[in-house]
């Protein structure tokens, strides 16, 4: 079973344009899709699609349409006391797949809301193969919320994955090794934010990405999966480093692609695959998601790890 926490969930509205986005102009919209989202929620969707049970912890009212939709999708949604209504995020997608995201901050939480989320995770973590802490933190949450929760989860029997950015990511790294998860999944720009490097350069240079990821492994993180957009992904563990190149993909929407990649790695670990095979499955899931509209999560029969090329990177970590 895979347990997920999405502390700042959203209704994801994807607006698909007929042409390039032009600021200040009136443009024709081809379609609008609303989906209950958030990084952890997306991973729970992928898990259910792969026939692995999943519990999704989210701050929401029990009768919120967001919760009802997740339950109808087969996700064991466990709502906890929210600070306010679920926010809406808007993604504007152009024909070439370029996506502009407008994310609202959501309601401001207090200590009681954070405690309810942490307790809901801690009480279920022991029966979970993986616990995934994912997404931004709501307004009012301390940057170290994830770092503290990872430390509390150590020794509970669950493997822990964290996917976040900005101050929560920096706080997680600052608290290493006590906060070291079993998996971190930054993208190139998030990795650059930790080092002051150039995100575009890191995403174009797998060796540079792997070298920076190796510094996190040396601080206790068991595995670092760095997604590099069209350049695939890099995986670094104490056993070595690998780069995977995705198959040719017609990009429709990049929203949710990173979440799908994280799930692909977790699925590979659950299946007992070795590191190169986990990386191939991660990249295959990410590229399949990029070829689907909105935050649509690929089904297993849409994922082709056999088309992913994996190469070992020598001399790392």
CATH number where 222 lies? 3.40.1190.20
Q: Find the radius of gyration of the CA atoms of the chain.
A: 18
Comparing 230 with 128, which gets the higher pLDDT?
Answer: 128
For residue 317, tell me if it sits in a domain: no
Residue 295 has pLDDT above 90, yes or no: no
Which one of 163, 259, 301, 306 is the catalytic residue?
Answer: 259
Q: What 3-state class would DSSP assign to 180?
A: coil
Give me the half-sphere count of Cα atoms (radius 13 Å) on the Cβ side of residue 191.
Answer: 32
pTM: 0.91
6-20, 32-46, 54-68, 245-259: least confident range: 245-259
For residue 78, tell me if it sits in a domain: yes
Q: How far apart are CA 57 and CA 290, in angstroms?
A: 25
- Residue 120 is predicted with a pLDDT of 97
Quote the domain boundaries for residue 106: 2-21+28-312
Question: Mean pLDDT over residues 25-49, rounded?
Answer: 92
Q: For residue 317, name the pLDDT band (cuts at 50, 70, 90).
A: low
- Residue 253 is predicted with a pLDDT of 77
- Number of structural domains (the chain) is 1
Active site residue 259: yes
For residue 212, tell me if it sits in a domain: yes
Comparing 252 with 100, which gets the higher pLDDT?
Answer: 100
Sheet holding 309-312, edge to edge: 76-80, 54-59, 2-5, 130-134, 159-163, 183-184, 224-227, 233-237, 240-245, 309-312
- Residue 244 is predicted with a pLDDT of 98
Using alpha carbons, select from 296, 310, 314 the residue that is nearest to residue 265. Answer: 310
Average pLDDT taken over every residue of the chain? 94
Per-residue pLDDT reduced to its tens digit, 229-245: 889 999 999 999 999 99
Q: How far apart are CA 22 and CA 243, in angstroms?
A: 36
């Amino acid at each position: 079973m895979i347990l997920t926490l999405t502390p700042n969930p959203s209704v994801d509205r994807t607006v698909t344009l007929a042409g390039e986005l032009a600021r200040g102009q009136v443009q024709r919209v081809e379609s609008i899709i609303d989906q209950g989202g958030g990084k952890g929620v997306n991973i729970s969707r992928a898990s259910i699609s792969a026939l692995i049970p999943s519990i999704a912890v989210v701050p929401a009212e029990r009768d919120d349409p967001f919760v009802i939709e997740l339950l109808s999708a087969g996700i064991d949604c466990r709502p906890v006391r929210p600070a306010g209504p679920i926010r809406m995020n808007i993604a504007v997608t152009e024909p070439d797949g370029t996506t502009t995201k407008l994310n609202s901050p959501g309601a401001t939480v207090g200590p009681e809301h954070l405690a309810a989320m942490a307790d809901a995770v801690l009480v279920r973590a022991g029966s979970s193969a993986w616990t995934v802490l994912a997404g931004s933190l709501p307004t009012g949450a301390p940057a170290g919320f994830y770092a503290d929760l990872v430390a509390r989860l150590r020794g509970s029997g669950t493997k822990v994955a964290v996917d976040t950015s900005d101050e929560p990511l920096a706080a997680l790294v600052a608290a290493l090794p006590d906060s070291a998860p079993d998996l971190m999944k930054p993208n190139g720009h998030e990795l650059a934010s930790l080092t002051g490097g150039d995100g575009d350069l890191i995403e174009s240079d797998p060796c540079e990405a792997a070298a920076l990821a190796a510094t996190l492994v040396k601080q206790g993180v068991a595995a670092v999966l760095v997604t590099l957009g069209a350049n695939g992904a890099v995986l670094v563990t104490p056993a070595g480093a690998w780069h995977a190149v995705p198959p040719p993909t017609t990009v429709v929407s990049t929203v949710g692609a990173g979440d799908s990649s994280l799930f692909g790695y977790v699925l590979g670990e659950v299946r007992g695959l070795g590191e190169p095979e986990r990386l191939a499955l991660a990249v295959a899931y990410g590229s399949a998601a990029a070829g689907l509209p909105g935050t649509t999560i690929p089904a297993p029969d849409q994922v082709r790890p056999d088309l992913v090329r994996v190469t070992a990177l020598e001399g790392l970590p």
